[in-house]
Amino acid sequence: MLTRVKVCLKVVVLGVGLGMLVGCGGLRFAPGQAQKQNAYLHHRTVQATALRAVAEEASPQLQSLSQRATGQSEAIMAYYGLPQELPESDTLEQLLSAESEQVTRAAGPVGRGG
């Protein structure tokens, strides 16, 4: 009986030690609704920027850069998934609104040093 306890204790200690050695780098929780809304708003903002760059006849480099950012944003949004409720984002005013900023703040401190 005592041998079983020792073996179990060794297994637990080894498992905890191994877990500490490997770390939590591979552990990632699924994005919540706030993160999904923020990713959606980011995508819509990048799309609006690309359209505006063309409409304002920005330099070819800026137009290409904004188009590339749109494609990258699509990949991010595909990873996060669509939110259950889409934030209003049909106009520049909606994208620049206080409500849009609140969605970004609710998504967390990602990218703001936190």
| Alpha carbon 61 to its chain's center | 26
48-88 pLDDT, tens digit per residue, is 999 999 999 999 999 999 999 999 999 999 999 999 999 99
**What band does 112 get if pLDDT is binned at 50, 70 and 90?**
very low
Q: Is 26 among the domain residues?
A: no
DSSP the chain: -HHHHHHHHHHHHHHHHHHHHH-STT--PPP-HHHHHHHHHHHHHHHHHHHHHHHTT--HHHHHHHHHHHHHHHHHHHHH---SSPPP-SSHHHHTSHHHHHHHHHT-STTTT-
Give how many domains the chain has, as a whole number.
Answer: 1
Q: Is 111 among the domain residues?
A: no
Q: Is 60 among the domain residues?
A: yes
Q: Is 24 among the domain residues?
A: no
Average pLDDT over residues 90-111: 90
**Is the pTM for the entire model greater than 0.95?**
no
